[in-house]
Copies of this chain bind each other. A is one copy, B any other.
């Protein structure tokens, strides 16, 4: 296997684990946070908007959203089209959001500590060229 791809896979596993550790005190997992984060950013979203935004398949989002609703992080309602579901953050989530976001920022700064701002941008641009 190409060492570049191998390295990317390794870093993914490492980062995902670090995110999970960071979120553990809030009883959240990495993928749950991804969903909360993008809902917060867009205020409210349909399931389809979420999975298209995050680039995962629909069933993955169905399950994560249901779990998040069970746990009280989000509220699900139906739009005028009775097929679609609209999702937004609960009061509890809105309150907790800034604290969790802060913890995540600390984690991000920590793992990206070895890179300058220029290198971060460069890494981002190089990653985008992989396709």
Which residues of A are interface residues toward B (Cβ below 8 A)?
Answer: 1-5, 7-16, 33-34, 37, 55-56, 104, 108, 111-112, 114-115, 119-120, 122-124, 126-131
Stoichiometry, as copies per complex, reads 2
Collect the chain B residues with CB atoms within 8 Å of residue A127's CB.
Answer: 4, 7-8, 11, 123
Collect the chain B residues with CB atoms within 8 Å of residue A2's CB.
Answer: 108, 112
Collect the chain B residues with CB atoms within 8 Å of residue A11's CB.
Answer: 8, 127, 130
Collect the chain B residues with CB atoms within 8 Å of residue A124's CB.
Answer: 3-4, 7
Kindly provide the distance from the CB of A36 to the nearest chain B CB, expressed in whole angstroms.
10
Collect the chain B residues with CB atoms within 8 Å of residue A16's CB.
Answer: 9
Report yes or no: A126 in contact with B131, Cβ–Cβ below 8 A.
Answer: no
